[in-house]
Amino acid sequence: MEAGFRLRYNPHVMGLKRDLVQDTDSRTTTSNPAGKLIFQGALLQAKIDPAKSRFGARKPIRRRHVKRGPVRLTWSRQSRVYFIKTVLRLLPALRVGTNYSITLTYRERELSASKRDLHTFQMRLRRFLKQNEWFAIWKMEFQRRGVVHYHLVLNLQCPLPVQEMRSYISRFWSEIVQDPQLAITGTRVDLVPMETVQQVMVYLIGHATSSRKQYQNHAGSVEWAGRWWGVWNKPNLPISEIPISEKEMHRLKRILAKIRPISQNALFSFWTYCDDNLFHNLLTFLR
């Protein structure tokens, strides 16, 4: 994130979160809490220190360095989990400003060269939007014929006409790839109405959890795939951390499992989608 970049948020929502943290400071908690409740954006996480848990191993936990394995050519399960968590954290930020859906395609391109193209596109986007506050989520996919393409969700605090965005992005992309034909067929830019932001979130998360169209998430026979997704200009999001006991964590898990897909086998942590109202109700329940 660039120095000095701050995303403007709804003051009511920001004030609500600050009040929630202040209210929880005065509530009665365990003298030695084993974990904490973390709320950021629309992501709620509960974590317990295994060493302090009654379910933890009796022997001390040994942390050892694990050498990173080879880069996978498929979108791994762990990467998908991080992607879903990131989308949930950014959901309130996507509800502020204007969102654009962008697709960058090729006729033919090597994967390693496409990653250089994507980096160059990011640099050009920074120069183009230097007077604006923005961030973007990008995701790499593959067509059936094996050619890579990229999807982006771009958020601007000061909106630009969609025709102007289409003109600039198509020109940028054709110049980067050095293919004039892509100025016509290589890009697609659509305005995302604010009332459909929730649907965009559901689509992104559904794509990360679905087993359909697995060819889109497999790099084929290349030797290197690199990152499958990322965030540019990540906003500074407010975060609330509240100490909780192990008993409180499991009480919350049992309650949330009735309305959210949470595994009952999760002993030391869980995470789920949560809005401000639900978070406030959970804190009221804990008090």
**Neighbour order of strands in the sheet with 229-232:** 187-192, 98-104, 148-156, 134-142, 229-232
**Which residue among 186, 211, 232 closes a domain?**
232
- 228 and 243 in a common domain: no
Average pLDDT over residues 218-234: 86
- 225 and 120 in a common domain: yes
Beta strands in 83-228 (DSSP E): 98-104, 134-142, 148-156, 187-192
For 44, the enclosing helix (H) or strand (E) is: strand 43-48
- Taking residue 137's Cβ as centre, other Cβ atoms within 10 Å add up to 22
Residue 67 belongs to a domain = no
Q: To the nearest 10°, report the CA torsion of 206, 211, 214, 218.
A: 80
Q: Which residue has the tokens 């654009």?
A: 100
Question: Cβ neighbours of residue 48 under 8 Å, at least 6 residues apart?
Answer: 34, 35, 246, 249, 267, 268, 269
Average pLDDT over residues 231-250: 90
pLDDT at 120: 96
Residue 68 belongs to a domain = no
Average pLDDT over residues 123-127: 94
CATH at 170: 3.30.70.1910
66 vs 202 pLDDT, higher one: 202
* Whether pLDDT at 240 is above 80: yes
Give 252-273 pLDDT, tens digit per residue.
888 888 888 887 777 788 899 9
* Whether pLDDT at 20 is above 80: no
**Which residue among 232, 253, 272 closes a domain?**
232
- 268 and 228 in a common domain: no
Give 67-109 pLDDT, tens digit per residue.
555 556 888 888 999 999 999 999 999 998 999 999 999 989 8
- 205 and 87 in a common domain: yes
> pLDDT class for 58, splitting at 50, 70, 90?
very low
* Whether pLDDT at 162 is above 90: yes
User: What predicted TM-score, i.e. pTM, was given to this entire model?
Assistant: 0.80
Cα Rg of the chain, angstroms: 22
